[in-house]
Amino acid sequence: SNIMNILARSVLEMYTFDPNPDDLSRDNLMRQAVELIARFPTIIAYAYNIYRHSVQGRSLHIRHPRENMSIAENFLYMLKHEDFTELDARMLDLLLIIQAEHGGGNNSTFTVRVTSSSRTDTYSSIAAGIGSLKGPLHGGANIKVINMIHHLKEQIQDWTSIDEIDTYLNRILNKEVYDKTGLIYGIGHAVYTLSDPRAKELKRLAGELAKEKGREKEYEFLRLLEQEGIKCVKAHRNTKKPICANVDFYSGFIYEMIGLPQEIYTPIFAMARIVGWMAHRIEELNMEGRRIIRPAYKNVLDVKEYSSLLDR
């Protein structure tokens, strides 16, 4: 029922069909990279079509990718046949570029690098990266954001009222409403503070797509949520440090306008991130003097006297 798990299993299965799966030479890694980038959209589209058929009881459609289409166009074609616009395809293409990588310090890219440093095969390393990206604090965060926005759209009566928005956001921060975690999803980033450049570009793209889809009111509501969310979080934390919206704040809204189901939001992130993962893997395995990455852990507990099993 989870397409990220299907994607991971499919990647591991590729090892069986690769004529040279354990060759870590640069040329072989490049071949594997190109094949993975090419196959991810088809795996995800087919997995969703089968999920839709078996779980939702809808018709099963299997459409072969076309040679004359881009990755984004082919993905939408396999999912939606011809029910997408040129702007939909261009938006998805830009999303894939924006989400491909951002510095290499993220959890899934580190997972790929640390497993690559052990000189394991490509498919095992990428499957590990998929497992990391699946987590709700990483690739799954855009679903958290869009679900929160749906909730706010229902609870806030006047989408233009700053007072009403601030009141409800502060109730979220005080753990009184919604999921009571005290988090406004999509606001804040572990590295970016002044701004998340990916979020700034997605904000612009979301506005362009909202005009085509007739959803300008929702877009303006999101802009107010971003503005007031940053303000409320800073006041709640009593800090003057800059805080920004992150890439997840607008990505789910764009997926929704394109007509993509939530079940594939995180797999689409993997479809973008496979480019960055393989770039890092190739670099890791082609560096001079490379060694296995081995984190160290420091015990901060006091020394304890050993007691025998019977005395415990």
Structural domain spans, the chain:
3-140+262-284, 141-257
pLDDT at 210 over 90: yes
Residue 187 phi/psi, 5-degree rounding, is -110, 120
Average model confidence (pLDDT) across the chain? 93
pLDDT band at 248 (very low <50, low <70, confident <90, very high): confident
Mean predicted confidence (pLDDT) in 297-304: 90
Return the pLDDT at 276.
Answer: 96
The rounded percent of the chain whose pLDDT value lies above 70 is 100
Q: Tokens 């299965």 — which residue?
A: 13
Is 163 catalytic? The answer is: no
Q: Which of 88, 121, 196, 248 is catalytic?
A: 248
- Among this protein's residues, is 150 annotated catalytic? no
Query: Which of the following is catalytic: 88, 121, 189, 196?
Result: 189
Q: What's the pLDDT band for 198 if we cut at 50, 70, 90?
A: confident
Sequence-ordered alpha helix ranges (H) in 63-215: 71-80, 86-98, 107-116, 122-133, 141-155, 162-173, 197-213
7 pLDDT band (50/70/90 cuts)? very high
CA 160, 165, 166: angle at the middle one, nearest 5? Answer: 135
* Res. 192: pLDDT tops 90: no
**Could you tell me which residues are beta bridge partners of residue 245?**
187
Residue 275 structure tokens: 């480019």
Q: Which CATH code for domain 141-257?
A: 1.10.230.10
**Do residues 21 and 13 lie in contact, with contact meaning Cβ atoms separated by under 8 Å?**
no
Q: Is the pLDDT of residue 214 over 80?
A: yes
Provide the whole-model pTM.
Answer: 0.90
CATH hierarchy code of domain 3-140+262-284: 1.10.580.10
Catalytic residue among 23, 61, 93, 138: 138
- 189 catalytic per annotation: yes
Burial class (CB in 10 A: 0-12, 13-18, 19+), 231: middle
Burial call 180-190: b when 16+ CB within 10 Å, e when fewer: eeebbbbbbbe
